[in-house]
Amino acid sequence: MQASVDIEALNQQIFQDSAFLEDLDLEASKVIVGQKYMLQRLLLGLLADGHVLLEGLPGLAKTLAIKTLSSAVDGSFSRIQFTPDLLPADIIGTMIFNLSKNEFTVRKGPIFANFVLADEINRAPAKVQSALLESMQERQVTIGKETFKLDAPFLVLATQNPIEQEGTYPLPEAQTDRFMLKVNIDYPTIEEERHIIRKSISGETNQKVNPVVTPQQIMNARDLVKKVYMDEKIEQYILDIVFASRNPKDYKLDKLAPLITYGGSPRASINLALASKAYAFINRRGYVIPEDVRNICKDVLRHRIGISYEAEAENISSEDIVVEILNGIEVP
């Protein structure tokens, strides 16, 4: 009885405190037509304190969506255009010699912002991509002998093109695992594209996006997301999904065993739980249901499951494997 009373109170609190999501959506719709799925996933990352990797063809508003979200939240924003000649110091900063003081001083790089857009992240080699690892996991940056804490909220939002392979470098597994979500962006519908054409011709896409949410509101919402109730059966469901990606034979999914080289890490379990809670919050609920887990499972796991040569030969993707796992695991 006590638990039901607490959940009811939490429901009411979430319903009140999530009102800012409507303001964010309204501001985003000034500039972006359609792409509700992408915007929702960016919000999930924002609320669950997780970085997001957007993958899609050019012209699908990936960069625009990220810039719009950062404009709607009254925080600092920086954009890093990843190129093959980029250096780690171009991202995190470096030590420079100050002639007037006769000493080295720190010059901070663009990583010191609330929202960091890593545009076309796969165009830089691994040594540059690795400059993001410490900031993405520990929310801090080390330059020389000094370590600097990054301001909260801190979010890395990266984009990459799945088709173009010339002059690109695949992201190391250690880095992809630090992204909470990998979101595949699809084309707009024909009606949405008609609307895009009209807005572009009339100049409506140049509308200014106003800040409608403060960073403190985001931090408060994150605290509330963590309080969203998750039953033990839902926890077990999440664990079964992740463990089935590692040992499919234990879950009577023998046909998947030769298709998987490695499964989801413990970060997969943590992020699946956090993203499920954030999804419940977005839907103005104080508790997680199995459908929340199933809804965001592909985005959490598609970049965390390694596929074998056999899977590639059969044209089976990691997403297909996630679908098979979801179909094979009993829903609580």
% of the chain with per-residue pLDDT over 70: 96
Q: Which domain holds residue 189?
A: 20-196+213-219
Q: In this structure, what CATH number is given to the domain that contains residue 247?
A: 1.10.8.80
Select from 153, 185, 219 the last residue of a domain. Answer: 219
pLDDT (0 to 100) of residue 292: 93
- Note whether residue 161 is domain-resident: yes
> Regarding predicted confidence, which is higher, 192 or 117?
117
Clarify whether residues 182 and 242 are in a common domain.
no
For Cα atoms 130, 311, 123, give the angle at the middle one, nearest 5 degrees.
Answer: 25
Please tell me the pTM assigned to this model.
0.86
Clarify whether residues 37 and 131 are in a common domain.
yes
Whether the predicted pLDDT of 1 surpasses 60 = no
- Note whether residue 291 is domain-resident: yes
Q: Three-class SS string for 54-95?
A: EECCCCCCHHHHHHHHHHHECCCEEEEECCCCCCCHHHHEEE
pLDDT (tens digit, 9 = 90+) per residue, 52-111? Answer: 998 888 777 787 888 888 888 888 888 898 888 888 888 888 888 878 877 888 888 899
Clarify whether residues 192 and 236 are in a common domain.
no
Count the domains in the chain.
2
- Note whether residue 1 is domain-resident: no
- Note whether residue 51 is domain-resident: yes
Clarify whether residues 280 and 160 are in a common domain.
no
pLDDT (tens digit, 9 = 90+) per residue, 34-58? Answer: 778 888 898 899 999 899 998 888 7
- Note whether residue 202 is domain-resident: no
Clarify whether residues 44 and 131 are in a common domain.
yes
Clarify whether residues 246 and 291 are in a common domain.
yes
Q: Record the tokens describing residue 168, joined without a space.
A: 């690109």
Cβ(167)–Cβ(40) below 8 Å? no
Q: In this structure, what CATH number is given to the domain that contains residue 53?
A: 3.40.50.300
To the nearest whole number, what is the mean pLDDT of the chain? 86
Neighbours of 216 (CB within 10 A): 11
Clarify whether residues 44 and 167 are in a common domain.
yes
pLDDT (0 to 100) of residue 21: 86
